[in-house]
């Protein structure tokens, strides 16, 4: 059986043909051109699907379904995408419009972090488990919840927006309008923000040397690399970041109690340096000391997760 998976991003759209085991057989990509009218982007998505079908010498009727991951809130039941800031989409009938190009072919749509979590549960680090939560640590913080082997997005399509749970009362203002959201402390953006503030008072920090005294060059990796070298300011920033991430993870454990928590996104590229620290930071916050709790692991599928997870929406 073949499935098409489409991963829509603010700058690029990736599509692939995936088998029922979650293996990508062929993939291709195009630029999003998000500044264009919505219908133009949908037309290009359809063309991309036809292009990869042609490369595999397949016809649309030989495909079981098309699945799509989008960077926003969507209603998997109606196929309407009510809110997708990166693309400028509001209340767009995405599935109905895709059916204009592929009539009769099932089309599914869900949040991009949700489909990435589904991908890991099918073909990645959480494969074989019944429940897992994927946390994507990038510019923001996204989540993908899988329960009983199926993605869970709640009754209104916002069930996995873990980046906007509050972990600090009256904390940093968030783009969503609240204060103290998880992503304001556990994203790459948060690390960069705090590092820029810290080095103003501590220009002797190794962070400044690594960024060549240009604050705009500070990245999460800059901070982590400086922390590995033992720089006091970087170590403090790293520890504060890990503590915030641990708070959010424990909230997830208390609310859902999954088998696995998967860390993905750009920040997770820090690897075991981050993973080991997070595991240690979580331990003291677990209130049931004698019971097992979620294993915390790093994602395996990288940038392919969006294609695989979107394709697997059609297998649910």
Domain with CATH 3.30.420.40 in the chain: 2-111+304-315, 131-299
pTM of the predicted structure, to 2 decimals: 0.93
Which ranges of 56-172 does DSSP label H, i.e. alpha helix?
94-101, 112-123
pLDDT at 151 over 80: yes
Mean pLDDT of 105-119: 95
Go through 273-284 and write b for each residue having 16 or more CB atoms within 10 A of its CB, e for each that does not.
ebeebbbebbee
> Strands, DSSP E only, in 102-224?
107-111, 131-137, 141-147, 150-152
CATH superfamily membership of 2-111+304-315: ATPase, nucleotide binding domain (3.30.420.40)
What pLDDT, in 10s, does the model give residues 155-203? 888 888 999 999 999 999 998 899 999 999 999 999 999 999 999 999 9
By the 8 A CB rule, do 63 and 94 touch?
Answer: no
Superfamily (CATH) of domain 131-299 = ATPase, nucleotide binding domain (3.30.420.40)
Please compute the mean of the pLDDT values over residues 301-315 and round it to a whole number: 95
Q: How many residues does the chain have?
A: 316
| pLDDT digits 0-9 by tens, 239-287 | 999 999 999 999 999 999 999 999 999 999 999 999 999 999 999 999 9
DSSP 227: H
For residue 316, pLDDT beyond 80: no
DSSP one-letter code for 179: B
Question: What does the pLDDT read at residue 260?
Answer: 97
d(CA 82, CA 64): 26
């Amino acid at each position: 059986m073949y499935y098409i998976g489409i991963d829509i991003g603010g700058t690029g759209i990736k599509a692939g043909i995936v088998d029922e085991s979650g293996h990508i057989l062929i993939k291709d990509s195009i630029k999003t051109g998000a500044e264009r009218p919505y219908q133009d982007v949908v037309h290009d998505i359809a063309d991309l699907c036809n292009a990869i079908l042609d490369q595999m010498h397949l016809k649309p009727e030989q495909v079981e379904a098309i699945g799509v991951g989008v960077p926003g809130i969507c209603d998997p039941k109606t196929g309407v995408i009510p809110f997708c800031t990166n693309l400028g989409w509001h209340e767009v009938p995405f599935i109905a419009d895709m059916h204009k190009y592929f009539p009769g072919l099932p089309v599914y749509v869900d949040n991009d972090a949700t489909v990435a979590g589904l991908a890991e549960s099918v073909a990645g680090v959480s494969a074989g488990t019944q429940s897992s939560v994927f946390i994507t640590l990038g510019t923001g913080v996204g989540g993908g919840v899988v329960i009983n082997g199926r993605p869970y997005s709640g009754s209104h399509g916002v069930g996995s927006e873990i980046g906007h749970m509050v972990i600090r009362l009256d904390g940093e203002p968030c783009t969503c309008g609240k204060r103290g959201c998880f992503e304001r402390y556990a994203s790459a953006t948060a690390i960069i923000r705090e590092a820029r503030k810290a080095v103003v008072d501590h220009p002797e920090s190794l962070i400044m040397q690594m960024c060549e005294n240009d604050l705009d060059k500070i990245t999460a990796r800059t901070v982590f690399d400086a922390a590995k070298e033992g720089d006091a300011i970087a170590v403090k920033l790293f520890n504060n970041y890990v503590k915030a991430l641990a708070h959010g993870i424990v909230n997830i454990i208390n609310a859902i109690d999954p088998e696995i928590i998967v860390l993905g996104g750009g920040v997770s590229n820090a690897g075991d340096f981050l993973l080991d620290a997070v595991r240690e930071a979580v331990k003291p916050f677990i209130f049931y000391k004698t019971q097992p709790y979620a294993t915390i692991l790093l994602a395996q599928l990288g940038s392919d997760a969006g294609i695989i997870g979107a394709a697997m929406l059609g297998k649910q």
